[in-house]
Structure 1
């Protein structure tokens, strides 16, 4: 049995009615996907597939939490996931993604694997900046970060580029070549 079999949907078996699917996306799912973005989590996915005259409408609702590194202290943190997404699948000559919500699926293929779409919907629901609340961050890492930031900031003040005395080191090297 293939590792993605439970995420495959046979479009030919979907009648005119709506069909509901439910998936538990736990550690096994993230191990199968084997992608570095999100590697741990516990997310429930509810999917309804409705056949229309021209297409199949996939309505996804994913909710739960994934573990990702905090941008501030690098410790693992829980990121809540709650997203609703739609995917429309139409038959055509060859596979193409017409937009974020529309896929053209080859007429000779009847089975669609939704595993990667589930993963994408999770990843796209994660904010760009993800940090713990300040009191939950690793205190040792925060103190190192603040120490680095203070040193870095004082170096910037020493090299004030608006000052008349500041000379870009690249120009200094060129002057040495010129004076030879």
Structure 2
């Protein structure tokens, strides 16, 4: 079986994320290599994306850069109408092309961790002060750090105590 192949490279920067109106990723500087293999009328697209995506921090809402290094595969074939619900993306034969923009964005988005936060101590201190003023938590002495100070992660939401009572009754 004969195999045709070609490669493309894309630089994804702030303009890319603005042009696709990306909901979560504000900015970034990434490089994408896309290798396309044609096998018996179908196409296999292999993506390798490396760089940094900039998203809002879940704690302080300031920008935080998250390293990205992801490898993904997309299977494409021609058909009557567009579909990407199954294992294959079907591209209408009349159009004969596929816009990879949204797929690139999704691969980047899916490679990011669920919790997107700054390293400890790097969050916007003004925002953290305001946040702590509005938190309703009890301090648990057993969670205090060695220095005797309670960090932002060492407090327990009192609602968990109600759930602990349920466990104790069983």
TM range (shorter): 0.7 to 0.9
Q: Does 1:105 align with 2:91?
A: yes
Provide the secondary structure at the position in 1 that maps to 2:137: helix
1:116 is displaced (CA, Å) by 1.1
Q: Does 1:43 align with 2:43?
A: no
Could you tell me which residue of structure 2 aligns to residue 153 of structure 1?
137
Question: How many Å separate the matches in 1 of 2:85 and 2:14?
Answer: 31
Q: Per-residue CA shift, 1:43-62, capped at 9, x if unaligned?
A: 10000000000410000011
Q: What does residue range 29-178 of structure 1 map to in structure 2 within 5 Å?
A: 29-99=16-86, 101-149=87-135, 152-153=136-137
Question: How many Å separate the matches in 2 of 1:140 and 1:107?
Answer: 55
Q: Per-residue CA shift, 1:55-86, capped at 9, x if unaligned?
A: 10000011100111111111111011111110
Q: Per-residue CA shift, 1:93-148, capped at 9, x if unaligned?
A: 2211133x521122222111111111111111121211111111112222222222
Question: How many Å separate the matches in 1 of 2:119 and 2:17?
Answer: 26
Which deviates more, 103-112 or 16-25?
A: 103-112
1:27 is displaced (CA, Å) by 1.5
Provide the secondary structure at the position in 2 that maps to 1:112: coil
Question: How many Å separate the matches in 2 of 1:84 and 1:102?
Answer: 17
Structure label with greater radius of gyration: 1
TM-score, with length taken from structure 1: 0.71
1:90 is displaced (CA, Å) by 1.2
* RMSD (CA atoms): 2.3
- Unpaired runs of at least 5, structure 2: 139-156, 163-170
Cα 1:16/1:109, change in 2 over 3 Å? farther
* Structure with greater helix percent: 1
- Unpaired runs of at least 5, structure 1: 1-14, 162-180
Question: How many Å separate the matches in 2 of 1:31 and 1:74?
Answer: 19
